[in-house]
Amino acid sequence: MASVTVSSCVVHGHDVRYAQAGTTGPVVVLLHGIASRAAQWASVMSVLGERYRVLAPDLLGHGLSAKPRGDYSLGAQACGVRDLLATLGHDRVSLVGHSLGGGIAMQFAYQFPERVERLALVSSGGLGREVSVFLRAATLPGSELVLPLLAGSWVRRAGSALDKRVGRFVPAGLHEALVGFGSLGDGPTRSAFVHTARSVIDIAGQRVDGRDRLYLAEDLPMLVVWGARDAILPVAHGRAVAELVPTARYVEFPGSGHFPHLTEPRRLAEVFEDWLTSTEPAHLDPSTLTERLRATAATRRTG
């Protein structure tokens, strides 16, 4: 098992923390979800790090990275990931995104196709409107006043007690969601969370949908992984993407919820490893997207 270390660097004046494992092989980048942190990938990283150079940042506004007053949209986060990778000397990577991180990964591939060799989405956001009521409620006016109540230590204790007493009756992922809300203990973290949530969600559900652009990456090796018991983002989203993108590899974890990297990390690492070794890295550039956009526009004009 490879050791996982934590480092930091300054990007545009902001401190960015990141975990890393492995020193040789292709670079694999793991992006966490909202109210999460890079440390959740540690078990997966220790396995992948035996053959790959694995990097997992704390996104701005999350974990131990800076939480500035600023832009927390998918596009801004994708640019931040690009700039971190450039600072560290990584020009091309295989990109994995979980939940919000999946939306950022798709946006990254759309904005910087020349930097992406493969794309994996794990219980990803941005693939349908439906999303947990917890996250929709967090976007309501005045949520900043309610979140301190949800972020108290009692939430973490309640989550642990609930898990012990009736764990098998609780929707998979609810405990992890409570722990995530429990991490919003300070003002800057709560503010970053609210701005992040409102950039992609409203009371009606997810506002950002990347499905209409997936055809632009038809040559990009794609993996879609979902927990069948996901209580945050429905497994139907993953199944629909598998039908929409026939070249994508789809893997479903029957016993997992929204966090397969926490509930079944070794199996997930093995799925990643098989996908990485059995696919060839893509070589795309902005002109590829331009050609496909123009071809689509011409088809609609003549159709």
Instruction: Classify burial at 72, counting beta carbons within 10 Å of its beta carbon; exposed 0-12, middle 13-18, buried 19 or more.
Output: buried
What separation in angstroms does the CA of 139 have from each of 39, 146, 204, 232?
26, 11, 10, 15
Asked if residues 18 and 84 have their Cβ atoms less than 8 Å apart, the reply is: yes
In the chain the first and final C-alpha atoms are separated, in Å, by 55
Catalytic position from the list 58, 230, 237, 261: 230
Q: 175 an active-site residue?
A: no
The amino acid that residue 38 corresponds to is A
The amino acid that residue 91 corresponds to is D
> Three-state SS for 5?
strand
Catalytic position from the list 99, 123, 124, 199: 99
Asked if residues 56 and 32 have their Cβ atoms less than 8 Å apart, the reply is: yes
The H-or-E segment that residue 124 falls in is none
Q: What is the DSSP string of 20-76?
A: EE-SSSSEEEEE--TT--GGGGHHHHHHHTTTSEEEEE--TTSTTS---SS--SHHH
Q: 230 an active-site residue?
A: yes
Return the closest-CA partner of residue 223 out of 58, 106, 302, 144: 106
Catalytic position from the list 32, 62, 237, 258: 258
DSSP structural state of residue 281 = P
Q: 258 an active-site residue?
A: yes
Q: Which residues are catalytic?
A: 99, 230, 258
